[in-house]
Structure 1
C-alpha cells in the first residue's frame, strides 16, 4: 500500500482578506523507502471540517478546499507543497485522500480484495490561530465493515507526523484488521467455506470462555486495538483480555491510541492494556506483572520478522510464553495450548530464518494463507499469515 503523509505539520497563516493553510505532503510505502510512482497521475482532495451546532446537537461539516483545483501526484514527484485558502468557518481537522474513491482505503472492505483501496488517507487536527503550537501527530481512519455494512465508529490510529518508520502504521496491521473484520463481522457467522484460516476463525468465534490474547511488537497498536474493536462489535457474552507489548519507547503512542478509542470498546478498561516487554528479557522467561498474570490462549505479532537480529530472542520469547501459560493453566487444574499468529509482509529473503528457528523450537504451522496487498504502481506484494502450535 501507499500512505499519504504530512512532511511537516499544517501551518495556518492569516491574511487581510482570508486565512490559508500551507501543507507539505508526500506519498510513500509503509517504510518510506519508495515514493508512489503511478502510471497515471493521481488527483488528491484536501477536505477540511468544522463543527456546526443546532438544537443541542453538533455536526461535523466537510469543506473541500481543493474542489476547483485538485493537486496532482505524478511519477517522479517527491513532495507536494500546497497553499490553500480557508473558508470563514474555523476548520478543526483536515483530511488528504485520493480524489478517486476507488483508490482510497476508507474501510476494511477496500483493503482485503487487494485491487482497490490502494492509498491510505491521512488526517490531522488544524493548529489554532494564536495558539503557537503545531500538531505533532496525525491519524488514520478505517471503517470496520463486512458485507457492505459499516459496524460502529471508524477505527482511528494515531501516528507521528513525518516520514520516519518509527511510530507509524505498517502494511500487515492494516491487512490483518481487514481480515479480522471479515471473519468476525460477517452476519452469517461462517467460519468455513470461503474463509481463510478456519482454525483461527473458530478460535475467535468460540463462545466457551473469554480469550486471553497477548501481542508482541505492537508498535502503534493497529493489530491489538483492531482486534479489540472487532471482537467488541461481535457482541459476544465473553470479553477477551488483550495485552499489547513492545519496547518502553512504544508505550506513549500505544496508550494514546488505546485512549483514542474512547467509548467504542464495549468492555471496561481491563479488556485492553499495554505493558513493556523486551524480547531479550522474554527469552529468559522474564515477564512483566501483566504478562505473567495470565495463561495466554493466543499470541499475535505483525511485521516483526523484518529484523533478523531480533528473531532468535523473539522465538525464545514465544516459547517462554508457551511454557508460562502451560504452568499457569496446569496449576489452575486445566490445560491450555498457546497458539501463535504471525502476519508478515516478506521484505527480504533472510526473513526465512524465522521459520527455521520456529521449527527448531518445535513450533509447527497449523494453517496459513496469503493475502494480496493493494499496490497502485506494481503488483505481487502479499501479507503471509501463519498459525503455529508448539509440539509437546
Structure 2
C-alpha cells in the first residue's frame, strides 16, 4: 500500500499586500516505511472541511483535484479561503476517492484508480483560537466493523513506532472475522459464557489492532503494550476512540527485555481464570530479526500463566532474515494452528505483496483452564442476568 503523508501540515498563509488568505500543505505518497514513492500518475481529491465543534460533523467548504506525477517526491497543495470566511476550525483531506468518509480495504484492493493509496485527514487549523498550523499528526480512517469507522492518528515524523504499517492495517480490517472463526473452531478458549475476552497486543505502535478489537468485540478487555516512545500516540488514539469502544482498552509500557507489567490484564478481579489471556496479538513485529528472541521470550512469559492463549502474528515479509522468528517459535514449543495469506494493494496489481497471519498455540501438556473463583462466578452470573 501507499500512504499520503504531510511533509508540512496545513497552515494559514496570508499574502503580503493582499486580503487573500490560503491554506497550504506539502504532501508525499510513500510506502509504510517511507523508503519509496508512488511511481505512477494519480489524480487526487483535495477537500477543505469545516468541523463542527458541537458534534465533530464535517461539511465540505471547497474542493479541487490535483495531480501526482510519477517520479515526484512531494506535491505542494494550496486552497483559497474567502476573506469573509467565518466557519472554523478547518481540516484538509487528501485521497484518491473523492469525498470519501473513510477508506475500505476492499476498495483499495479492487479499484485500480486508487492505486492502493491510503487517504490522509489533517489536524485542525483555527486562527480564531491561535492555531495557524495544524499539529504534526495525520489521521487515517478505516471501516473495520461495528458500523463506525476507526479513526487512528499517526505522526508525520520519522519514528517507525508512531506510524501505521501494512500488516497492522490489514489485520485490523480482518480481525473481527478472524476472531469469530477462531471461536467457532475452538481456538479461542472460552469455556463458559461469562468470561470477558482478554487480549494483549505486543508492539502496538499507534494502537490500530488493539483498538479495533475493543471497538468491535463486546465484553473484551484489551491491553496495548509498547515502548515508552509509543505512549503519547497510543494515548491520543485511545482517548479519541474511547466513546466508540464496546470493550475496554488501556496502554501499558513494555520492553520485551523486561518483566511483564503487573497486572497485565486490566481486569481488576483477583480470579486467575478471568485474568488469563485468551489472545496475544502482534503485527509488524518480526521485521527486525535481532528482536525475535526477546519477542518470542515475551510470548513465552505470557503463556506461562495463560497456557491456552491463541497467538496471532501478522507480518509482511521484507527480507529473508525474518525466517528466524519461525525457528524461535518452534524451539519455544509453539505449533502452528492456522495460516492465512491476504493480498495487498499493489502499484500495478493487487497481490504484488501480501500479509501473512500465523496463529499459534503452545504444545505444552498443561493447557487446562484455571477454574473461576466462587466470588467471580457469582458476579458474572449477576451480570449475565442483569441482576442489581
Alignment of 1:85-234 (within 5 A): 85-87=80-82, 88=85, 89-99=87-97, 106-110=103-107, 118-129=116-127, 130-131=130-131, 134-145=134-145, 151-183=146-178, 191=181, 199=185, 207=193, 209-232=195-218
**C-alpha displacement at 1:251, in angstroms?**
1.1
Equivalent residue in structure 2 for 1:352, among 318, 323, 326: 323
Q: Name the CA distance, whole Å, in 1 between partners of 2:27 and 2:134.
A: 16
**C-alpha displacement at 1:369, in angstroms?**
0.7
Alignment of 1:2-151 (within 5 A): 2-15=2-15, 16-38=18-40, 41-51=41-51, 59-66=57-64, 70-87=65-82, 88=85, 89-99=87-97, 106-110=103-107, 118-129=116-127, 130-131=130-131, 134-145=134-145, 151=146
**SS of the counterpart of 1:346?**
coil
**C-alpha displacement at 1:266, in angstroms?**
2.8
What are the ranges of 5 or more consecutive residues in structure 1 without an aligned counterpart?
146-150, 233-238, 327-336
Question: In the TM superposition, what whole-angstrom CA distance separates every residue of 1:228-278 from its partner, at most 9, and x where no partner exists?
Answer: 11214xxxxxx01110111111111111111011411134xxx21111111
Q: Name the CA distance, whole Å, in 2 between partners of 1:112 and 1:202.
A: 29
Equivalent residue in structure 1 for 2:229, among 249, 259, 263: 249
* Residue 300 of structure 1 pairs with residue 281 of structure 2: yes
What does residue 241 of structure 2 align with? 261
Question: In the TM superposition, what whole-angstrom CA distance separates every residue of 1:77-120 from its partner, at most 9, and x where no partner exists?
Answer: 10001222124243522101014689x97124435769767111
Alignment of 1:250-289 (within 5 A): 250-267=230-247, 271-281=248-258, 286-289=259-262
Q: Name the CA distance, whole Å, in 1 between partners of 2:186 and 2:160.
A: 30
Q: Name the CA distance, whole Å, in 2 between partners of 1:58 and 1:219.
A: 26
Question: Using a 3 Å threshold, how does the CA distance of structure 1 residues 201 and 371 change in structure 2: closer, same or farther?
Answer: farther
Q: Name the CA distance, whole Å, in 2 between partners of 1:225 and 1:262.
A: 9
Q: Name the CA distance, whole Å, in 2 between partners of 1:266 and 1:390.
A: 29
Equivalent residue in structure 2 for 1:342, among 303, 310, 313: 313
Q: Name the CA distance, whole Å, in 2 between partners of 1:304 and 1:241.
A: 22
Aligned length: 347
* Residue 381 of structure 1 pairs with residue 353 of structure 2: yes
Once the two structures are overlaid, the 10-residue window that deviates more, 297-306 or 122-131, is 122-131
What does residue 306 of structure 2 align with? 325
What does residue 377 of structure 2 align with? none
Q: Name the CA distance, whole Å, in 1 between partners of 2:206 and 2:278.
A: 23
What are the ranges of 5 or more consecutive residues in structure 2 without an aligned counterpart?
267-274, 365-388
Q: Name the CA distance, whole Å, in 2 between partners of 1:317 and 1:137.
A: 31
**C-alpha displacement at 1:182, in angstroms?**
4.4
Report if the CA contact (8 A) 2:204-2:226 is conserved: yes
Equivalent residue in structure 2 for 1:366, among 337, 342, 362: 337
Question: In the TM superposition, what whole-angstrom CA distance separates every residue of 1:176-203 from its partner, at most 9, and x where no partner exists?
Answer: 121124457xxxx8x4xxxx99648866
C-alpha RMSD over aligned residues: 2.9
Q: Name the CA distance, whole Å, in 2 between partners of 1:305 and 1:256.
A: 25
Report if the CA contact (8 A) 1:127-1:133 is conserved: yes
Question: Using a 3 Å threshold, how does the CA distance of structure 1 residues 100 and 48 change in structure 2: closer, same or farther?
Answer: closer
Report if the CA contact (8 A) 1:197-1:368 is conserved: no
Report if the CA contact (8 A) 2:102-2:143 is conserved: no
Q: Following superposition, which runs of at least 4 residues in structure 1 exceed 6 angstroms of deviation?
A: 112-117, 200-206
Scaled by the length of structure 1, the TM-score of the pair is 0.80
